[in-house]
Chain A
Amino acid sequence: MFAFIISRILQALPVMLTVALISFAMFAYVGDPVAIMLGQDYTEAQRQALIRELGLDQPFFVQFFNFVVNAAQGEFGLSYRLSRPVLDLIAERAPATLELALTAAALALLVGVPMGVYTGLYRNSWLSRFFLTFSLIGVSLPTFLIGILLILTFSVWLGWLPSFGRGDTVRLGWWTTGFLTTSGLKALILPSITLGLFQLTLIMRLVRAEMMEVLRTDYIKFARARGLANRAVHFGHALKNTLVPVITITGLQLGAIIAFAIVTETVFQWPGMGLLFIQSVGAADIPVMAAYLMLIAALFVVINLIVDLLYYAVDPRLRISGAKGAH
């Protein structure tokens, strides 16, 4: 188990280094940070001093090494656009994005899995057909259109829910949360539906396909022959065996959720990392873009690791082969 974690971390290292190289290349070759930081009036001596101070006169690999060391400590320099440390900017906005992403993922799982089980069990009922049609629309509708339609219906026409921002937030240490106030919770509803809908339909279709596959197997027939209640067969035997692919896809989709949070945050003016990123792309603010890229890469590596560990918890066969060291 421990050896497995170590080997996964070692595998992740080249990925992280590649991403760091790309980030660094963006820093080093795109735009001229010296010209941006000096502004309009400067002397040649000031320019040289700044170049030396930033370490830009060093050889490429020394610069890259310094960049990696700084990045590992969370030091990405100042934002060109806002002239504030990048780390502070990201730390301020991370809670908003994480709360939104987790709510969306929870929504997708808690609604998607039961819908998938239902459509897998009762293939021909009218409700299943309705769910399937609905899921096709969910896959074909772009995220931002879902958001616009929800805003139009629930904010503009009905006036029930807020259309932008996070509402009132409560500060817990450095973390700000919208979970504890009514306006914060109300503000969370539309964005999390917008963000979670695609994942919801995906999980539903996946669970449905897996359930239909599993229900045909012999051990389900045997469980029925033993006279087990339908509920025990469906949930204890069938659903449990669909979980491995569901966990894989959910884990991989967490990445997609964070990427599409950029879109959702733009539609709802949600003050998270995605909005920060899109504003940085528009303003060619390289330090923020580079830091965001590294952060996302680290997040993906961690998510993949957790997914692999969950396999162990769910599938006993892996535990046996792992104990033999058959990896």
Chain B
Amino acid sequence: MAAAAIRRFFDGDIWYSFTRSPVTVVSAIVALVCVGGAVLAPLIAPHNPFDLASLQLMDAFKPPAWDAEGDPTYLLGTDDQGRDVLSAIMYGARVSLLVGFCAVILSVSLGVTAGLAAGYLGGTVDAVLMRIADIKLTFPTILIALLIDGVVRAALPRDVHDQIALYVVIFAIGISNWPQFARTVRGSTLVERNKEYVQAARVIGLSRSRIMVTHVLPNVLGPVLVIATLNLGFAVLAEATLSFLGVGVPPTQPSLGTLIRIGNDFLFSGEWWITIFPGVALIMLVLSVNLLGDWLRDALNPKLR
């Protein structure tokens, strides 16, 4: 059964279009390397940047290994506290990806629920939900996320805020991205609602919530997958921007954006590697995810086949 499913996948259109696009194959490999490096960081990172005992200030500001003054144990150099930049990047990507995934999951659940309700129930529910989505769409995500963070910061004492900062960032990014999903799902729900299988379900007396969840929902999820992929890159960027501005994740758990912000202070004294390598890692991660999302959109779009 499983073998047959795998066989069907490799014979199918999606795998075919995947192998035909070298850019996609390369970005899939890059994305795998990034995600793999992040997930396995505690196992494969050459140093533990958070183990204060192993940090030596003597090792601070070492340039990358290929530089004449570099140290081969620190492949991409060290930062102001002697932390290995490569290891910091791997641990940082963990935080970035964690925030990105959770934020997208939050946006998807909010957006799909709102879109299904708006599309299937119609009427006042639809008008109110879509009006909220419209208002939300006119305000840029970064601004909303900054405001949420600012309000939480004002409402809670500092140490409590640092503890929950990660969740605040996830919440801020997730909540500001749901309208996109809501609009897409609403659109497809409006189409599905009038199809015969939904009418049949209604005729045999199923409840509205049951029809929405078990009948309509599976048929509107296709486009959601594509938008979610493209949104992952976006959420990672939003997190990096917030952390760069100093209002994202706390400095005790540096993400890629935090690392870039820390390194930015040393740009003028010539230690460019502290900020540039996390930047390159961020670009590789986001670019590969975006390219995969682009490809997925085309591959799942029957009009382009």
Contacts from A to B (Cβ < 8 Å): 15, 18, 26, 29-31, 136-137, 139-145, 148-149, 151-152, 156, 163, 252, 255-256, 259-260, 262-263, 266-267, 277-278, 280-282, 284, 286, 289, 293, 296-297, 300, 304
Contact = CB atoms under 8 A, between A and B. Distances in A.
Contacts of A143: 241
A259 B140 contact: yes
B143 A140 contact: no
Interface of A is mostly: helix
A18 B241 contact: no
Contacts of A262: 142-143, 146, 245
A293 B147 contact: yes
B142 A140 contact: no
A143 B257 CA distance: 12
Contacts of A263: 142, 241, 244-245
Contacts of B241: 142-144, 263
B154 A31 contact: yes
B211 interface: no
Most chain A CB within a 10 A radius of its CB, from B140, B247, B279, B282? B140
A272 B290 CA distance: 32
Contacts of A156: 267-268, 270, 272
B297 interface: no
A284 B155 CA distance: 9
Interface string B266-279: 01101010011001
Across chains A and B, which 9 residue pairs bring their CB atoms closest together, nearest first? A284-B154, A259-B140, A281-B150, A140-B287, A30-B154, A259-B143, A31-B154, A144-B244, A145-B279
Contacts of B240: 142, 144
Given A30-B155, A145-B282, A151-B267, A255 B139 contact: yes
Contacts of B286: 140, 142
B276 A152 contact: yes
Nearest to A151: B267
A309 B113 CA distance: 35
A289 B147 contact: yes
B214 interface: no
Nearest to B243: A144
Contact of B138 (A255, A278, A293): A255
Contact of A145 (B138, B260, B267, B290): B260
Contacts of B267: 148, 151-152, 156
B193 interface: no
Nearest to A139: B290
B142 A259 contact: yes
Contact of A30 (B151, B244, B283): B151
A304 B244 contact: no
B237 to A, nearest CB: 5
Contacts of A29: 155
Contacts of A31: 154-155
Given A263-B244, A284-B154, 15 more contacts: A136-B290, A142-B244, A142-B282, A145-B260, A145-B282, A262-B143, A262-B146, A263-B245, A266-B245, A277-B146, A280-B150, A281-B146, A289-B151, A296-B139, A300-B138
A264 B245 CA distance: 10
B43 interface: no
A80 to B, nearest CB: 9
A281 B153 contact: yes
Interface in B118-145: 135, 138-140, 142-143
Interface string B137-172: 011101100110111011100000000000000000
B275 A148 contact: yes
Nearest to B137: A252
B246 interface: yes
A172 B135 CA distance: 36
5 contacts: A29-B155, A156-B272, A259-B142, A266-B245, A278-B245
